[in-house]
Structure 1
């Protein structure tokens, strides 16, 4: 099983084996704006699963499986980036995500507008708003076209455009986004909710002046929700979590402030770092079956020609290791094996593909989230999980020689911020 078609079948069949109710019926009631607001304020953490460029048809089954497995403890959502979807080829992706309460069509305008030289601009332009001029993208009518594109593909959480904001003119940048958020909000109906969409350089978090400007603007605007991605520095490798303390401190203050103000905060492209930020008041985070959905960072050159190494998310270490190292951990230290449907299928077939890797990753991330679902004990539970992960990692490294990329570098930084 090596082709993308085989991987797609693998994802779908293994996900549906464990799914009950929602998955078998293939439907659930549509969520209106009022229900979505209640969900965002319920205290139940949200996981947003990103649509990958390949094998997208398999993701709805995975979301249904996760929704059924974590019912009552985790709310599932789906993100479809609009650079992946053609206007003249109506997609069934978001309507097909029947296990998802939140359905987001991310306009990803930062890929097309603004001087963000760290991200490659797409070679294909699919929607008219992606080709607009510098002057046009400052207008309410352009913002409204961005909102309508999201409705056209089945989104129920409508985002403001979210153009790139480097904090060179902080007040001007945030004021324009607020104006466009308000323009889109005027278009909204009772079947949807609108969110303030922010795509930020890390200076917004690391500098007190810009951080204050950001928070003051959000609190004054009182959006129904904030959808915020921050450009991280380059990571050591694709499986690393954020360990930059200055950025983490900024995240912490924003999470805590918006939680106190009762403004839901969603953090796409953050994966395990987003899970960590739930402890400080974030409402939810985004992740996916590929590493590109787990961090918003500068594009990095891959190892051209190097064979891909099978990897495995090790929840006890809060980190990803080589699959061969995981086999040693199971036989030498933990004595237990993962019970998720992807690992069960892999054991019965002796197959471990990128599909299995991605499905397992989301299952274990959702379990970690379920474990800290109780808002009253979430902070203490997350801290305890991180301390145990550091202890378990130390024990593993005393007995098993791990390659450098398999050694987590974020745990001590995360613990010190509690």
Structure 2
């Protein structure tokens, strides 16, 4: 968003109690995120992204980062912190938490969440994970907004399949719950729903793929001759908890065992035809409905039952009806053992 678009948007949602204006400090070039490049025009318009943090904690730099959020009517501040290197991890994390302390000093009693962006190895590597958990447990801060950079996801609009990372999410969510720490997982999509079922307090997602997965981007080969291939019309299927080709969805929704989970946007697509914008809204509404089911006493059981029903439907399909390629929900058999 441009700064003006962000102000307009935030004005329209001023009635919403929780409003986050993420400064996305991991985007600042030369601060560690592997995919950080020179800022494009829209990002460059945000002045707070122009200057890397000084070597030592700077009250003025922190104020600039917090003011960028205040100026756009955030109801919760994110600490003025970005990428945390896994190299010399303990020192890097301790140094980052000094910036968190300065952020808290300036935020005072206002709501503030610890804002860290980390490689997924902080989840999959036991030593790194324990280092992170120790700091979370020992900190006076209760709210932790942790974005993890995933390896490449094989299927666009698919879910994380690396079981070591999923195990890390499971451990992190459980320990935060036990220690009365609140864990929020931005840009995790339905994998965030999985982690919320296991004890996290929330996650973020959106209509576009980058909002659903903070992951290494797949390099796409550019076709040099002829017209580019037509985009795949995608739709989220709540039965199998997976985004697939809309044509394939239309085929399987008529099969025995497929359950209708309607949203107003899916009704609109059925009436007027597929459009990416309305399909994205259907996805957000469907995931919102899924998240509401986690208000039960045992949310992991609720999520397990949904995953099991989805897998049961997939397994029931005849050889000629089987889902293939990008339409296969490969994450379900990986998730189920961890949701039990």
So what's the TM-score if we normalise by structure 2? 0.90
Cα deviation for residue 162 of structure 1 reads: 3.1
- Aligned counterpart, 2:298: 377
- Aligned counterpart, 1:115: 32
- Aligned counterpart, 1:6: none
1:131 aligned to 2:50?
yes
Tell me how far apart the structure 1 counterparts of residues 159 and 36 of structure 2 sit (CA, whole Å).
19
Cα deviation for residue 179 of structure 1 reads: 1.5
Tell me how far apart the structure 2 counterparts of residues 334 and 390 of structure 1 sit (CA, whole Å).
11
* 8 A Cα contact 1:222 1:263, kept in partner: no
* 8 A Cα contact 1:313 1:360, kept in partner: yes
Tell me how far apart the structure 2 counterparts of residues 279 and 408 of structure 1 sit (CA, whole Å).
19
Cα deviation for residue 136 of structure 1 reads: 5.6
1:147-166 → structure 2 map (5 Å cutoff): 147-166=66-85
- Aligned counterpart, 1:209: 127
Q: Residues 98 and 302 (structure 1 numbering): CA distance in 2 closer, same or farther, change over 3 Å?
A: farther
Tell me how far apart the structure 2 counterparts of residues 90 and 270 of structure 1 sit (CA, whole Å).
22
* 8 A Cα contact 1:166 1:203, kept in partner: no
* 8 A Cα contact 1:144 1:183, kept in partner: no
Secondary structure of 1:289 counterpart? coil
Cα deviation for residue 158 of structure 1 reads: 0.5
- Aligned counterpart, 1:101: 17
Unaligned 5+ segments in structure 1 are: 1-83
* 8 A Cα contact 1:194 1:224, kept in partner: no
Tell me how far apart the structure 2 counterparts of residues 240 and 338 of structure 1 sit (CA, whole Å).
19
* 8 A Cα contact 1:85 1:126, kept in partner: yes
* 8 A Cα contact 2:28 2:51, kept in partner: no
1:406 aligned to 2:322?
no
Q: Residues 194 and 134 (structure 1 numbering): CA distance in 2 closer, same or farther, change over 3 Å?
A: closer
1:243 aligned to 2:161?
yes
* 8 A Cα contact 1:195 1:227, kept in partner: yes
- What is the CA RMSD across the aligned residues, in angstroms? 2.1
1:188-337 → structure 2 map (5 Å cutoff): 188=107, 192-302=110-220, 304=222, 305-334=228-257, 337=260
Secondary structure of 2:7 counterpart? coil
**Larger relative contact order (Cα-Cα within 8 Å, sequence gap ≥ 6):** 1
Cα deviation for residue 335 of structure 1 reads: 6.5
Q: Deviation per CA, 1:351-380, whole angstroms, max 9, x where unpaired?
A: 211111101101111111112222x22121
Unaligned 5+ segments in structure 2 are: 223-227
* 8 A Cα contact 1:102 1:157, kept in partner: yes
- Aligned counterpart, 1:352: 274
Tell me how far apart the structure 2 counterparts of residues 144 and 180 of structure 1 sit (CA, whole Å).
11
Tell me how far apart the structure 1 counterparts of residues 243 and 317 of structure 2 sit (CA, whole Å).
13
Secondary structure of 2:19 counterpart? strand
Q: Residues 212 and 326 (structure 1 numbering): CA distance in 2 closer, same or farther, change over 3 Å?
A: same
1:366 aligned to 2:284?
no
Cα deviation for residue 119 of structure 1 reads: 4.5
Tell me how far apart the structure 1 counterparts of residues 145 and 203 of structure 2 sit (CA, whole Å).
9
Tell me how far apart the structure 1 counterparts of residues 131 and 288 of structure 2 sit (CA, whole Å).
34
Secondary structure of 2:184 counterpart? strand
Q: Number of residue pairs matched?
A: 331
* 8 A Cα contact 2:28 2:52, kept in partner: no
So what's the TM-score if we normalise by structure 1? 0.74
Runs of 4+ with >4 A deviation: 334-338
Q: Deviation per CA, 1:134-183, whole angstroms, max 9, x where unpaired?
A: 53674232122111111110111111133212310212221222221221
Secondary structure of 1:92 counterpart? helix
Cα deviation for residue 121 of structure 1 reads: 4.3
Tell me how far apart the structure 1 counterparts of residues 325 and 98 of structure 2 sit (CA, whole Å).
47
Tell me how far apart the structure 2 counterparts of residues 175 and 141 of structure 1 sit (CA, whole Å).
20
